[in-house]
Amino acid sequence: MLRRTTSRRLLLLACLYACGSEQDRGAAAGLDGLDLRADANRDGEIRFDESDANKTEWNEKVGAVFLANIDDDGRRCRPSPNDLEIARCNDAEDDIINGEEDARDLAHLETRPWPQPPEDAVGRVTVAPEAARGRVRLFHRRGATAIDYAAVTDETVFSREELVAGVGLAIEATDIVRDPAIWDGYVDVRFTVGSSAHGEVTDTVRMRVAPVLMYHHLLPAETVWVPNGRTEAYREVNDALARSSSKAGIETKSLGADDLWVQDFFEPAFMSMPGPGGSQHVIRVNYRSANVWQPSKKQTPLRPAGQIVFALRGVDVAAVQQFDIEHPRPMDGLNSTGNFETVPPYEKDGVAFPFGRVLRGSTPSFFPDKSFGRMLEAQRQQPPIDVDTSWLHVGHVDETLSFVKAPTPRGWVLLVNDSRLARKMLDDAVTGGHGDVPMFVGKSWIDLSTNETWPAEVKIKDVLADTVVMQASAEAAVEVDAQVAVLQKEIGLADDEIVAVPFLHTVHNGKLIAYQPGTVNGLYAASDRFAAPDPHGPVIDGKDIFKEALAAPLRKIGIEVDWIENWDTYHRLLGEVHCSSNATRKIPEARWWESGR
């Protein structure tokens, strides 16, 4: 926008405003040399040609990107027991560039060198809309090095000499987008040059902060995370997972956490912006679960193990915490991140989801933390699909559903619990004369309140005669049908893209849990390996029929099952292999900025 403050050319100014464009007015006023650019064409460079000329639009083809600079490149953030204090520390907390690693997390803008600006020309830079102020920070170049920048303030003025040389700017967001009603992640960077003789002219570049994306299971794992091996039994589970992962060259690391449920207290994710040569510059992001365990403790209300996201913070690794302390306590289990999985990429009715969609257990009356949900939805790339898990005691989507690669047009299949199939398998065994074959040989149940144990071994015919197990399994079948119906409607899954995973259910405190180890609840770390809990099913003709029921269909699509012994450590504590592990995965080749969202 051009504003004239002198009176000598009022008639010309009136004509310019009535008849000319903003660019025409700047040219007539002698301020036609202003040209602010960013990496609008997303090739990792700033160019003063037509490739970066379309700078005020933002869509799947053009538009500059910047990052929320919330990692800790200098590793200056110190541990703190205060949940709120520790979350505030990151590289965007201060207004300096914390070394060369930090400098690489900034996106750049440049003004074209201006040979002949007016003698009294001065420049200023501002951002709009108002909501972006305080959520983005600009720096200006002072010297030749990557870190010789100073923060732009309201008092920052660029001299004529700087305009002649070209002004270098850098931008960071101080946070990710959490609520689009407050800020949608877009910012207009406005560079204004004024002259007492020629008025003012402004050039604008539109930019967008990168969203945080969750990994889907088709992406190979880079690191598998396991908990502290506090007893020999837990160390054996960790070792078994490590052996499975090592077959694919994947490293396994212990988080050192006493909390056994590694899947539940954090969720790995990432954000990225264009880099040189078609690359991506990536910051890994770990979401802390929104579990509020001690609402009365104002400094430490959250699940303690979730603080691991801050211990993992470092060079290009960030942490995000979001929670509502008023979220109803009976629903808090839904905030565990085993209840936040990702449907793999797909396309339906001409609409593509190249990064998949968040899958969560949620209903209008039984739901996870809404502020955390708003944050996930604000990323815009992975709109959630909700299924009902309120009938499950734990209530997580990973109890009944999972995804693996497959040689299908879609590229993957859905693994889904099928308790009807489990009952049919046992019925067929009885018909075949195997009703006295035992299940759960050598295993025991435990009373979680008293630690009292008793033998779990049971004959097939007695399982079928157990009215509690049979009724619970029948109810589970109906509930899982409803989950699958939602996914078929949203994704367009055909019946032959669904692999049935048989196990029965029983009742715990009025809701349903897996009676047999829930073999769908496994770790899919590599394309050809699925680590699943040992079902300890009946052995007929030398084979565990429930092992074979999972291994056979997976073998047909090129996946081998590694059986993990987790009965004592996890199954009888109401969880399985997936609950006990987590994974940081490879960054996908797809670029989110090309998605159209």
Which of 190, 209, 228 marks a domain boundary? 209
Q: What is the pLDDT along the chain (597 residues), one digit of tens a residue?
A: 333 333 333 233 333 233 333 443 444 347 899 999 999 999 999 999 999 999 999 999 999 999 999 999 999 999 899 999 999 999 999 999 999 999 999 999 999 999 999 999 999 999 999 999 999 999 999 998 989 999 999 999 999 999 999 999 999 999 999 999 999 999 999 999 999 999 999 999 999 999 999 999 999 999 999 999 889 999 999 999 999 999 999 999 999 888 999 999 999 999 999 999 989 999 999 999 999 999 999 999 999 999 999 999 999 999 999 999 999 999 999 999 999 999 999 999 999 999 999 999 999 999 999 999 999 999 999 999 999 999 999 999 999 999 999 999 999 999 999 999 999 999 999 999 999 999 999 999 999 889 999 999 999 999 999 999 999 999 999 999 999 999 999 999 999 999 999 999 999 999 999 999 999 999 999 999 999 999 999 999 999 999 999 999 999 999 999 999 999 999 999 999 999 999 999 999 999 999 989
Which of 209, 224, 242 marks a domain boundary? 209
Q: Which domain holds residue 579?
A: 213-594
CATH code: domain of residue 508? 3.75.10.10
Nearest to 34 by CA among 42, 22, 18, 51: 22
Rounded CA separation 57/203 (Å): 13
Spacing of C-alpha 60 from chain mean position:
21
Same domain membership, residue 203 and residue 188: yes
Same domain membership, residue 429 and residue 551: yes
Tell me if 169 is assigned to some domain.
yes
In angstroms, the Cα distances linking 458 to 443, 468, 517 are 10, 14, 14
Domain count, the chain: 2
Tell me if 127 is assigned to some domain.
yes
Compute the C-alpha angle 373/375/378, nearest 5°. 110
Rounded CA separation 355/591 (Å): 9
Same domain membership, residue 440 and residue 553: yes
Same domain membership, residue 123 and residue 225: no
Reported as a single tens digit per residue, the pLDDT across 371-395 is 999 999 999 999 999 999 999 999 9
- Is the distance from CB of 187 to CB of 120 less than 8 angstroms? no
Rounded CA separation 509/513 (Å): 10
Same domain membership, residue 284 and residue 174: no
Same domain membership, residue 433 and residue 304: yes
Tokens of 147: 């870190």
Tell me if 408 is assigned to some domain.
yes
Rounded CA separation 237/228 (Å): 11
Nearest to 225 by CA among 197, 269, 262, 261: 262
E-strand spans in 330-439? 340-343, 346-348, 351-353, 357-361, 385-387, 401-405, 412-417, 438-439
Instruction: Please give the helix or strand (H or E) that residue 384 lies within, else none.
Output: none
Angle separating helix axes 467-491 and 419-431, nearest 10 degrees: 130
Nearest to 323 by CA among 315, 311, 310, 334: 334
Rounded CA separation 436/434 (Å): 5
DSSP SS3 for 117: coil
Rounded CA separation 198/13 (Å): 10
Same domain membership, residue 235 and residue 182: no
Rounded CA separation 46/534 (Å): 55
Same domain membership, residue 361 and residue 456: yes
Same domain membership, residue 222 and residue 199: no
Rounded CA separation 57/188 (Å): 10
Same domain membership, residue 329 and residue 185: no
Start-to-end Cα distance in the chain: 29
Tell me if 442 is assigned to some domain.
yes
Tell me if 285 is assigned to some domain.
yes
Reported as a single tens digit per residue, the pLDDT across 277-327 is 989 999 999 999 999 999 999 999 999 999 999 999 999 999 999 999 999
Same domain membership, residue 268 and residue 255: yes
| CA 448, 451, 454, 456 torsion-angle sign | positive
C-alpha R_g of the chain: 29
Which of 209, 232, 267 marks a domain boundary? 209
Tell me if 5 is assigned to some domain.
no
Buried b (16+ CB within 10 A) or exposed e, 406-424: beeebebbbbbbbbbebbe
Residue with the two structure tokens 């108002």? 130
CATH code: domain of residue 155? 2.60.40
Same domain membership, residue 417 and residue 368: yes
